Amino acid sequence: MIDVSTTFTGITFPNPFLLSSAPPTESESNILRAFEAGWGGVVTKTIGLHPVVNVYGAKAKFMRTSPDTATVSMKKRPDAALHSSWNWELISDKPLDWWEPRIRRIKDAFPGRVLIASIMAGSGNDKELGHWQTLAKACQAAGADGLELNFSCPHMDRKDMGSNIGKDQGLCSVVTEAVKEAATVPVWCKLTPATADIVVEAGACFRGGADAIVSSNTFPSLPLIDPETLDFEINVDGLVSSGGLGGPAILPLALAKMAQLTTAFPDKSFSGIGGITDMSQALSYFLLGCGTVQVCTAAMLDHAIGPNVIKRLNQEYREFLEKHESRGWNSLEDFRGSRRDRVVPQSAIRRPNPSDYNAGYDVVEGYAAPEPASARTA
């Protein structure tokens, strides 16, 4: 009875676990290894048409925390636990014509696995919108099963690219609509978490025709300053720029974004990312309403593509379904979103004496007394 496969935006996945767009999916050999290891799908490292030149030296590092002092640092030391990844890597430095034959070969080798092409262009003029369409047409012609629009890269200088699109609801709609005009496959939009209300940008993407929203990309962040050298732990000539935080540290933050999204759009499709290493974390995203989840940091730390991570995810997912089979949970659709309605305003949470609390407002007596506190959102 148990079925670990799932259908998301019309695409059938052998399991709901994907490698996200990042170093694990930057090459043909990595993606082939990922499929051999058991990942249900991959989102390629983001492909663009503009020239890409990365910074000198390390593009990503890992921060660890010590249990006794709670120190967070990139310095390697014994007994420290993973805190987060930090990166300032740009999109793929390989051109579109490098990717096209590789996408084709990967799909030929693994027709039953899902390959989503992550793409990025500008948005400042019609030429840039045309670039999105060029990328979309080329990737789908090469065999990509879907497209993920990168509205989320946090370290772009260009004001019309990456998270700068994801911070502008007008651009979110216009770009999504332009891609939808050219697309014959489902279109997902990956939004930046760095906005006041992600529901606004998601709504704009849906109005543009998006088939799903993907969240979260990394959160804007800086590495720490080394107290000995007084330099940032990653720097080039002493200088640093804002980069992206991923891994365990962002899990609760990304979950909060996802809860906002799935509550606002309960009938839409969402792919969850942020701090996933095993089924316990993936489950939070599923119970909030996600139809797939994606992994980056944990896979980078496990032989670059996460063979042990996906083995554990697949095994724990099957065990979870077996454990809950008696409740009628045979596949993801049977329990997806079943804890979404547990996220409520403060005023809806029980307190020792409910009559003491008036949603933060002064208690008004007499005829002017307002509606009950539980009806308000403070």
Ligand X SMILES: Cc1cc2nc3c(=O)[nH]c(=O)nc-3n(C[C@H](O)[C@H](O)[C@H](O)COP(=O)(O)O)c2cc1C
User: Is the Cβ of residue 120 or residue 373 nearer to ligand X in the bound state?
Assistant: 120
Among 11, 22, 147, 204, binds ligand X (CB under 6 A): 22
Please confirm, yes or no, whether 172 is among the known catalytic residues.
Answer: no
Among 167, 190, 257, 268, binds ligand X (CB under 6 A): 190
Among 16, 17, 42, 45, binds ligand X (CB under 6 A): 45
Minimum gap (Å) between residue 135 Cβ and ligand X? 13
What is the C-alpha separation between 145 and 226, in angstroms, rounded?
45
Among 273, 309, 310, 332, binds ligand X (CB under 6 A): 273
Enumerate the H helices of the chain as residue ranges: 28-37, 96-109, 126-141, 163-166, 169-182, 198-207, 251-264, 279-288, 297-300, 307-323
Helix, strand, coil % over all residues of the chain, rounded to 5: 35, 20, 45
If we measure between CA atoms, which residue out of 209, 289, 203, 222 comes closest to residue 88? Answer: 222
What is the C-alpha separation between 246 and 369, in angstroms, rounded?
47
Give the distance, in angstroms, between the CA of residue 314 and the centroid of all CA atoms in the same chain: 19
Does the footprint of ligand X cover residue 297 (CB under 6 A)? yes
What is the C-alpha separation between 288 and 180, in angstroms, rounded?
27
User: Could you tell me which residues come within 8 angstroms of residue 173 by beta carbon, excluding any fewer than 6 positions away?
Assistant: 204, 205, 207, 208
Task: Please report, as residue ranges, which positions from 132 to 171 form the binding site for ligand X (by CB under 6 A).
Answer: 150, 152-153
Minimum gap (Å) between residue 79 Cβ and ligand X? 22
What is the C-alpha separation between 376 and 175, in angstroms, rounded?
36
Candidates 106-114, 262-270, 291-299, 357-365: pick the segment binding ligand X (CB under 6 A).
Answer: 291-299
Minimum gap (Å) between residue 241 Cβ and ligand X? 15
Max CA pair span of the chain = 75
What is the C-alpha separation between 148 and 162, in angstroms, rounded?
12
# chain residues binding ligand X, by CB under 6 A: 28
Residue nearest to ligand X (CB): 246
What is the C-alpha separation between 306 and 34, in angstroms, rounded?
7
Give the distance, in angstroms, between the CA of residue 131 and the centroid of all CA atoms in the same chain: 23
Among 6, 85, 164, 271, binds ligand X (CB under 6 A): 85
Task: Please report, as residue ranges, which positions from 318 to 337 form the binding site for ligand X (by CB under 6 A).
Answer: none
Does the footprint of ligand X cover residue 215 (CB under 6 A)? no
Q: Kindly name the residue from 139, 153, 205, 290 that is annotated as catalytic.
A: 153
Minimum gap (Å) between residue 286 Cβ and ligand X? 15
Does the footprint of ligand X cover residue 20 (CB under 6 A)? yes
Among 118, 140, 281, 284, binds ligand X (CB under 6 A): 118
Among 13, 32, 89, 185, binds ligand X (CB under 6 A): 89
Query: What positions carry a catalytic annotation?
Result: 153
Residues that bind ligand X (CB under 6 A): 20-23, 45-46, 60, 85, 87, 89, 91, 118, 150, 152-153, 190, 217-218, 246-247, 250, 273-276, 295-297
